[in-house]
Structure 1
Amino acid sequence: MELRLLRYFWTIAEEENISRAAECLHVTQPTLSRQLRELEQELGTPLFERQSKGLVLTDAGLFLKSRAGEILRLTQQTTQEFVDRRQQLFSGHLAIGCVEADNSDTLAMMLEDFVSDYPQVTFHIFSSASDIITDQLDKGLLDLAILLEPVNTDKYATLTLPRTEQWGLLVSKDAFVAQQSSVHPADLAGMPLMLSNRPEVQQLILDWSGLTRDQLNIIGTYNLSFNVLPLVTHQVAAALMIAGALSNRQPADTRFIPLAPTMQTNCVLVWRRDRLLTPVVHEFIHYFQQAFGSAKA
């Protein structure tokens, strides 16, 4: 399957119309229609349903669009990396993943210093949960990432960041527990809870509480905290999370209560050990090493 055909397919899927896609690609409509038919024949399945309102992706088309997006982004990034290596004066690009945490500020401070020293450098920040970020990192779509422990770092070189992340319970100010200065394991018994969908985080909370999963009333899970905030506000459930996930966006009618005994975790800067780094990425990691110490191999 040629990259050219993937680009054609991707553009058609985005525009949902052959004519508009042909204009975007600067090819004729008959040429584009023929290329689409040939791609469908090659794959042995229709990729679109022709409806009055336009083209609608079939299940096979949705699957191919997801894969095509990853391939085209990886191709673009690989091309950019070769350009970066030709331009040794640090006019390259950084692709960085970052979780919701206090250490988002750490990344911002490091980027501020870096682009001040190398003003031709550009960057992209991909914000998501640790498991999604590591998937993007493994596919080569990200150069490095800041992840929240606990996380399996067997494949990565790591540098632990010094700012710790405080765990607690986010509750409505009208909840009974909101009057407490801390939350103990016994306070969680029977309380409707939401927590991260990451198995490592769930185990961390079980280890802290000394309770089994059956003893906790977990009614929901999440990967990012943004969408759970209204549920906490309306007392659907309380949410176990880190304080850094609420930076500058905690609803006024909620309260974050630290866990007791205190539970803290670190964030780590990670990158693949087996991947050759561009000069720009290597230098950016060096900035972190100068600020916070050497990385673990």
Structure 2
Amino acid sequence: MELRVLNYFVATAQELNMTRAAQKLLVSQPALSRQIADLEDELGVKLFNRQPRHLTLTPAGQYLFEQAKEILALTAKTKSNLQSTAIISGDLTIAAGESIAMQRIMNILSNIIQDYPTVKIHILSGDYEFAKRKLNVGTVDFAVIIGNLPLSNYASLQLPEKDTWGVLMTKNDPLVKKEHITAADLAGRNILNSQQAEAMHYFDSWFGNYKDQINIIGTYNLSFNGTLLVKNHAALSLTLDKLADVSEDSNLTFRPIYPKMTESITVIWKHSTNLSAVAELFLNRLQASIAED
């Protein structure tokens, strides 16, 4: 598979219309159709279901679409970094979960951008599985991982910050009167849990004998949308501190859980990867920032 043909395929998969894709690529429609047909012959699979004026991806086409986007992103990143060896330039990509510790990361990135204006920064938000997959395929330089997770396959640097688990609720909820929330307080309540915490059974021990009385109505991947559900009084949210707006102007407030549960924050990268100049710069500045504390 040639990169040029993969680019043609991705454009066609995005447009789901051969004419629009050809216009986007600045090629003729017959030439594009021929390239896609040749790609299908090469792979021995059908990539598109062809309908009048419209295309849909087959399961094989959907799989190739996801893989091709990763391949093209990695190719562009590699080319950019190779072309910027004379000075610190190129792209720095970080996959990260939501944490107050990201403020340290953002401070470092802000200083790098100020010192090296040609550097491009890309932040991808997601949970551990998302960040790990991006790191493994090479489309990100670093991942910021929240929690005590298996990291033996990676180089790592733990940040000083820790996140504290608690319950997000509206300010008129009866639990607002409490300084901290116990599992007994959540019995009979609708609870929205972190997708990562739910999948890894973080709270099973903390729930204890109340586990069957706590109604987990669903999960969130990133906290903002879960916050909207809390605002609608549909549920309380088990979440980390300092992620939601709990200022005087907000209708939300946060109470830590008891017994207390905290999470470490770790920056990881691949052992076997030769870091680009800008990635080395970021890592050096991160280490210096931690040493200063």
Same fold (TM over 0.5): yes
Task: State the match for 1:64 in structure 2.
Answer: 64
Q: State percent identity of aligned pairs.
A: 36
Task: State the match for 2:137 in structure 1.
Answer: 139
1:23 and 2:19 correspond: no
Deviations, residues 178-218 of structure 1 (Å, cap 9, x unaligned): 22221012212332211112258753323344457545322
Amino acid at match of 2:4: R
Match of 1:97, SS state, is strand
Deviation of residue 220 (structure 1)? 1.0
Match of 1:116 among 114, 117, 121: 114
1:125 and 2:118 correspond: no
Deviations, residues 50-109 of structure 1 (Å, cap 9, x unaligned): 33442222332222211111111122222223223xx23202221111211111211111
Task: State the match for 1:94 in structure 2.
Answer: 92
The residue correspondences of 1:191-210 to structure 2 (distance < 5 A) are 191-199=189-197, 202-210=200-208
Task: State the match for 2:3 in structure 1.
Answer: 3
Task: State the match for 1:32 in structure 2.
Answer: 32
**Higher alpha-carbon deviation: 246-255 or 258-267:** 246-255
Match of 2:149 among 145, 148, 151: 151
Contact 1:88 1:279 (8 Å CA) reproduced: no
Match of 1:233 among 231, 234, 255: 231
Structure 2 residues not aligned, in runs of 5+:
none
Contact 1:206 1:212 (8 Å CA) reproduced: no
Paired residues, number: 292
Contact 1:102 1:247 (8 Å CA) reproduced: no
What CA distance in whole angstroms lies between the structure 1 residues aligned with 2:56 and 2:246?
Answer: 40
- Over 3 Å counting, the alpha-carbon distance change for 1:211 and 1:241 in structure 2 is farther
Amino acid at match of 1:19: T
What CA distance in whole angstroms lies between the structure 2 residues aligned with 1:183 and 1:202?
Answer: 21
Deviation of residue 246 (structure 1)? 1.6
Task: State the match for 2:167 in structure 1.
Answer: 169
- Over 3 Å counting, the alpha-carbon distance change for 1:273 and 1:244 in structure 2 is farther
Deviation of residue 251 (structure 1)? 8.6
Deviation of residue 281 (structure 1)? 0.6
TM-score (norm 2): 0.90
Structure 1 residues not aligned, in runs of 5+:
none
Contact 1:170 1:238 (8 Å CA) reproduced: yes
Task: State the match for 2:55 in structure 1.
Answer: 55
Give the root-mean-square deviation of aligned CA atoms: 2.4
Contact 2:89 2:277 (8 Å CA) reproduced: no
